[in-house]
């Protein structure tokens, strides 16, 4: 039986050429796997037909938009996960769901190898291959761009010489990855980190300087998950899509950052994540009134580590699974509504309410009805500062000798 290789297929030039390139280099049959995570553009059927037209013996396509929103974007929201304090893991969280379908397709079609289109300089090669190793330890991995020296110039020549049904162009200098959680842009003009992004880079967000009238929105959460917008029930996918539209129109969610890649280099990235950043802002403000202080402080540390693990391709790791359990436990009382105004590139919270809130008006007020016993504060301060006081007395005594 001829060996079969499953290829993560985007429908673009590189992966279309990779179908024939892999076949010629290995003698194997290629099964193209396309996964819709809300990246927009062509229909899955169009992508499927292109894969077959480029020489794939089978084409596996999956509409994973709800799966992606429910099982990957929502855990990211609950963790308030921002890699290095900026990046909402746009590409990092899409790779595990694609890996899951690649391994599923490999089992279904009897493939022994999984291929992806990543280079040797990026993070995605790690995310794909570590995920595949974890879910399919018996499967081998190859990367045509990295392992078979498939450059873009070679891909264009190959596509033209084989009359492949794919557009070939050198005009777009950027590398772009997108899904419903956000959009990532890199390379080209952006590699000089002094260069400001040009307007043509952006697609999910309008220019903040020319925003329409302010947009006030009420987002309702149940156990950390958005369940309604302005009183209208929504699924997680619908919540992201609606806020992509509304927050994007206000220029919310533009991120320009130089981040530390897993392979040891720094890389300049431009992200657009209007829905993700609006939801994260609302979610964090709701946590501020529903999660106990020490739990919230520790959760911030857990969320940072969670983001690092996911960025580094460890979605399926035991530690990530354990951190998930802690984060999920913290969300049981994250219920309620957040009112937020979006305008000029900002999403600003100006109202919160929750039946499970820890905010006590009678304890917080300075007006009549205050139930806080201020007479207890003096003794509390004495005890709270006791260890520092004793240490200071010791230091002064020793330094005076």
CB neighbours of residue 223 within 10 Å: 14
For the sheet with 113-115, list strands across it. Answer: 58-63, 29-36, 4-8, 113-115, 140-142
Q: Is 344 annotated as a binding residue?
A: no
The mean pLDDT value for 38-49 works out to 90
Q: What is the largest CA-CA distance in the chain?
A: 89
Q: What percent of the chain has pLDDT over 90?
A: 79
**SS3 of residue 29 by DSSP:** strand
Q: Is 288 annotated as a binding residue?
A: no
Residue 233: phi and psi, rounded to 5, are -65, 140
Question: What tokens appear for 210 in the block?
Answer: 């020319």
CB neighbours of residue 125 within 10 Å: 23
Q: Is 12 annotated as a binding residue?
A: yes
Q: pLDDT, tens digit, for every residue of 236-256?
A: 999 999 999 999 999 999 999
* Helices 274-290 & 236-249 angle (0-180, nearest 10): 110
140/157 Cα distance (integer angstroms) = 28
Residues 276, 182: contact at Cβ < 8 Å?
A: yes
3-state helix, strand, coil in the chain (%, to 5): 45, 20, 35
114/104 Cα distance (integer angstroms) = 11
**SS3 of residue 138 by DSSP:** coil
Q: Is 119 annotated as a binding residue?
A: yes
Q: Is 220 annotated as a binding residue?
A: no
Residues 28, 144: contact at Cβ < 8 Å?
A: no
* Helices 13-26 & 152-161 angle (0-180, nearest 10): 80
CA–CA–CA angle 343, 348, 349 (5° rounding) = 140
Residues 304, 89: contact at Cβ < 8 Å?
A: no
Residue 213: HSE in the Cβ half-sphere, 13 Å Cα cutoff: 2
The residue whose two tokens read 């039946």 is: 355
**SS3 of residue 7 by DSSP:** strand
Q: Residue 175's pLDDT is what?
A: 81
Q: Is 8 annotated as a binding residue?
A: yes
Burial status of residue 138 (CB atoms within 10 A of its CB: 0-12, 13-18, 19 or more):
exposed
CATH of domain 4-171: 3.40.50.620
Q: Is 11 annotated as a binding residue?
A: yes
pLDDT above 90 (res 294): yes
80/287 Cα distance (integer angstroms) = 10
Question: What tokens appear for 325 in the block?
Answer: 């359990």
Most confident option among 43-52, 152-161, 351-360: 351-360
Q: pLDDT, tens digit, for every residue of 76-106?
A: 999 999 999 999 999 999 999 999 999 999 9
Residue 374: phi and psi, rounded to 5, are -70, -15
The residue whose two tokens read 């693990």 is: 309
Q: pLDDT, tens digit, for every residue of 315-366?
A: 999 999 999 999 999 999 999 999 999 999 999 999 999 999 999 988 988 9
Whole-structure pTM value: 0.94
Looking at the chain, the domain(s) classified CATH 3.40.50.620 span: 4-171
156/219 Cα distance (integer angstroms) = 47
Confidence at 401, pLDDT banded by 50, 70, 90 = low
Element (H, E) at 387: helix 386-399
The mean pLDDT value for 186-199 works out to 92
Confidence at 171, pLDDT banded by 50, 70, 90 = low
Q: Is 366 annotated as a binding residue?
A: no
For 136-233, where are the alpha helices, taking DSSP H only? Answer: 144-147, 152-161
Looking at the chain, the domain(s) classified CATH 3.90.1260.10 span: 176-291+333-353
Q: Which has the closest alpha carbon to 142: 230, 30, 50? A: 30
- Work out the mean pLDDT of the chain and round it to a whole number: 93
pLDDT above 90 (res 156): no
**CATH 3.40.50.150: does it fit domain 176-291+333-353?**
no
Q: Which has the closest alpha carbon to 82: 400, 303, 241, 243? A: 303
Q: Residue 172's pLDDT is what?
A: 63
The catalytic residue positions are: 14, 95, 124, 175
Residues 6+ apart with CB under 8 A from 36: 44, 61, 62, 63, 64, 65
């Amino acid at each position: 039986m001829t060996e079969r290789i499953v290829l993560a297929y985007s429908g673009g030039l590189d992966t279309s050429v990779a179908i024939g390139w892999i076949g010629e280099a290995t003698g194997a049959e290629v099964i193209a796997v396309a996964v819709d995570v809300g990246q927009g553009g062509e229909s899955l059927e169009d992508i499927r037909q292109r894969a077959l037209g480029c020489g794939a013996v089978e084409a596996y396509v999956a509409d994973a938009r709800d799966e992606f929103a429910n099982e990957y974007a929502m855990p990211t929201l609950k963790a308030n996960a921002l890699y290095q304090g900026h990046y909402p893991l746009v590409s990092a969280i899409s790779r595990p769901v694609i890996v899951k379908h690649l391994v599923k397709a490999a089992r279904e079609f009897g493939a022994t190898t999984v291929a992806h289109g990543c280079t040797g300089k990026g993070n995605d090669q790690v995310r794909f291959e570590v995920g595949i190793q974890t879910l399919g330890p018996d499967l081998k991995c190859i990367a045509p761009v990295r392992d078979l020296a498939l450059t873009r110039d070679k891909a264009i020549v190959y596509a033209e010489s084989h009359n492949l049904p794919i557009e070939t162009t050198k005009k777009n200098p950027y590398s772009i990855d997108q899904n419903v959680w956000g959009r990532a842009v890199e390379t080209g003009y952006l590699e000089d980190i002094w260069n400001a992004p040009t307007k043509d880079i952006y697609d999910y967000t309008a220019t903040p300087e020319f925003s329409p009238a302010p947009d006030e929105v009420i987002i309702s959460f149940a156990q950390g998950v958005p369940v309604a917008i302005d009183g209208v029930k929504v699924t997680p996918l619908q919540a992201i899509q609606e806020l992509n539209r509304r927050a994007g129109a206000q220029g919310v969610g533009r991120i320009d950052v130089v981040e530390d890649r897993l392979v040891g280099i720094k890389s300049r990235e431009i992200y657009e994540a209007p829905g993700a950043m609006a939801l994260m802002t609302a979610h964090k403000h709701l946590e501020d009134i529903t999660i106990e202080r020490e739990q919230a402080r520790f959760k911030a540390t857990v969320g940072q580590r969670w983001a690092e693990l996911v960025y580094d391709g460890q979605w399926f790791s035991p530690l990530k699974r354990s951190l998930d359990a802690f984060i999920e436990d913290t969300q049981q009382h994250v219920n309620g509504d957040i009112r937020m105004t979006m305008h000029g590139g900002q999403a600003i919270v100006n109202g919160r309410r929750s039946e499970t809130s820890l905010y006590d008006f009678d304890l917080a007020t300075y007006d009549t009805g205050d139930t806080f016993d201020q007479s207890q504060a003096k003794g509390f301060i004495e005890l709270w500062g006791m260890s520092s006081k004793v240490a200071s007395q010791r230091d002064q005594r020793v330094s005076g000798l």
